[in-house]
Structures are given as C-alpha cells and as structure tokens.
Amino acid sequence: MPAVARTTRARWIAAGLDALAAGGPDAVRVETLAAALGVTKGGFYGHFDGRAAFLEEMLDEWEQRSTTEVIAQADAEGGDAADRIRRVGSLTFSEDLHRIDLAIRAWANHDPSVSARLRRIDNKRMAFLREMFGAYIADPDEIEARSMLMFALAIGRHFIVADHPGYTKLEAIQLAGEHLLRP
C-alpha cells in the first residue's frame, strides 16, 4: 500500500477558508476539515498549535492574498491610477476572495480581534484608493468621497438585489465604477 502524502499547511488553510466562507467561524472545525480533506485530524496538529492559531493563520492568508499581494501586483504591472484601481478591485473582490471577505466581515461583528484586524486591512485598502485618486484629483474632499464610494461599491455590490433596467447587474456595477474613476 503506498504511503499517503502528508496534507500540507496550505491545504488545511484553504479548507478552513472555504469552511469559513460557507458557514462562518463556527464551521471551521478540525474534525470537519479533516473529513473534507479525507485525512485524520492528527496531521492538523503537526502544522498548527490548536484552532485559535489556525484561525489566525487563515486570517494571515486572507490578508496576504486579498490585500498585500494584489497591491504589489498592481504596483509591479504599473499603469495609470485608474488602471491600478481596476486591477486591485478585480483581484481583491474576485468571487473566490470576496466570499471570504464577506464571511470575515460578519465574523468581525462578533469578535473584537477580528474586527481590529479588519479595520487595519480596510485602512490599507482605503489608503491605496486615496493614493490612487490623489494621483489625478487635487480636492481632498473628492478624494475621500470617491475612495469611500469605490470601496462601498466593492464590498456592498453583493447585497444589492435591485433591478437595473436596461443593464445587467454587472454592467451597472461597472458603470458606477467607471463613473467614479473619471478624471
């Protein structure tokens, strides 16, 4: 019988983030994740010092993927400020990451440490938007307003169920985003 490959730390974290997105922090259970991965829970403890440490590493991974890496990628790829905002938005709020983002926002309503982390990350995201809008807008009030509206559009678009006569939901979102990116 061939040896079973050890489940990597990354697979545990990916499974944890999927469980979080699907059911919130209460759905992130070692036994449940082990069953989903088709392994025993013993391997979990080879990577993590318990559930609390695991949850922290999941948050670290989410922050890295949804904020740090996407801003670095936009910086590396260059382009004007509007292009960089588009790129960061499309990467940060892809369906895969956005569902995790929404779950973390819900979790933050009940956990002060998650709330503090979310505030720090949202501040990074808003600083990026302010910097980008500031590259072509001089009025600080307009920079703040556009940054806030762009961020609200990115976060809140999934909560809006209104019809958009003559437009698909995606077209209406893109139209709003392009309006905010105008010089």
Across the 183 residues of the chain, what is the mean pLDDT of every consecutive 10-residue run? Answer: 66 97 97 92 90 97 94 94 94 86 97 97 97 98 98 92 95 96 95
Q: What is the pTM of this model?
A: 0.90
Q: Are 25 and 111 in contact (CB under 8 A)?
A: yes
C-alpha closest to that of 12 among 70, 63, 55? 55
Q: What DSSP character marks residue 27? A: G
